[in-house]
Amino acid sequence: MSKSLAYQKFSKSIEAEIRNFWHLNTALIYAKRWWETIGAEHYPGRITQYLGDNVQPFTSIDIPPADYLANESVVVEMNRENSLVGFITTFEVYLNDIMRRMIYLDSSLVNTSEMPFEAKQIAVAMEKTHFKSWFVDKVADKYLRNLTHLKMILKLEKMATYEIKKPKSDLIEEWNKWTYVRNAVVHNGRTVSEDLHREWQDKFPRVKEKLKITNRDFNRVHHLAVEICKHIDAIIVKKFIAKNDAILLVRELFIKDGTEDTKILQKSAMDILNQRLTKADVEKAIALQRRTNSDTYGWSFSAHNFQK
């Protein structure tokens, strides 16, 4: 199944969140093993007193090794909660990215909008930026700002005139509950908020209690993010994007690396976006880039877009 550039960015971002979680947790295990090889009877009074460790970052919190090791469970718990926040934020970025891409490719999606803009905003944008990209960013931002993820998905559904929520209703409803957990981590001191309690009483029965996120919860949130994004992306690619993202990627690779070998570019489109391009598709994209020498408007490319 073909992927959008937005999904490619999402998948690499959420992978980075998982690797960050994994890296810190494994580092804690290695640290514990390392101190155990020294033996408690040989611990220095402070961690900075061991060999050449009287430097940053050790000196920032100079504590006995036993206290350092005793804090492991707190670090793991906070890392798990922070990673959950990262998962949900990454998903939210995807929703913003995919809406921007939809509107960029099909501006008729906002033909009936009465959204106002000030003349001075438009004048500045026309002089200093690529106007269509500016317009798309402003519209998507106003459409999605301060909405819950459920309402964002329903907004996408309305724009796409295609049923997005119903086939995955249970997953999306559960995902929306997890967004309240994210809010509790960020805005309520990592304790159960009144909003979270109201939305999910069976899992969070008491307000102000610690959240107690488990590894099972961590895995569940990751699973939901991937499954829902795959579902949304398949619809948007089929209805709006088609080959456009892969062709834009070919143009960017041509700009970035000077690559014009059609077979290499076809392979890149398949490897990165799982999109099959014909030789003619690639040649047309290169010809357009040579003729216009323009930026690849419609998407902000980064390292995320060049990885398998």
Angle, in degrees to the nearest 10, between helices 244-257 and 5-38:
60
Q: How confident is the model at residue 125 (pLDDT cuts 50, 70, 90)?
A: confident
Using the predicted structure, report yes or no on whether residue 127 has a pLDDT greater than 90. Answer: no
Residues 92, 87: Cα–Cα separation, whole Å: 9
Q: What span, in angstroms and rounded, lies between the C-alpha atoms of 155 and 137?
A: 16
Residue 113: the pLDDT is 81
pLDDT at residue number 231: 98
pLDDT tens for 216-259 read 999 999 999 999 999 999 999 999 999 999 999 999 999 998 99
pLDDT above 90: residue 78: yes
Quick: pLDDT tens for 204-224.
999 999 999 999 999 999 999
Cα-Cα-Cα-Cα dihedral sign, residues 243, 248, 251, 257:
negative
**Segment 266-278 mean pLDDT:** 97
Q: Which of 239, 294, 299, 249 is nearest to 272 (CA)?
A: 249
Residue 200 DSSP class: -
- Give the C-alpha separation, 251 to 245, whole Å: 10
Per-residue pLDDT tens digits for 23-74: 999 999 999 999 999 999 999 999 999 988 999 999 999 999 999 999 999 9
Rounded CA separation 45/66 (Å): 9
Q: What is the largest CA-CA distance in the chain?
A: 75
Q: Sorting pLDDT into bands at 50, 70 and 90, what band is 129?
A: confident
The pLDDT of residue 306 is above 80 = no
**At residue 270, does pLDDT exceed 70?**
yes
pLDDT of residue 131: 86
Token pair 């995902």 is found at 175
- Predicted pLDDT of residue 305: 67
Instruction: Provide the residue type at 53 as one letter.
Output: D
CA atoms within 13 A on the CB side of 61: 4
pLDDT reported for residue 304: 67
Domain-by-domain residue ranges, the chain? Answer: 76-240, 243-306
Average pLDDT over residues 168-197: 97
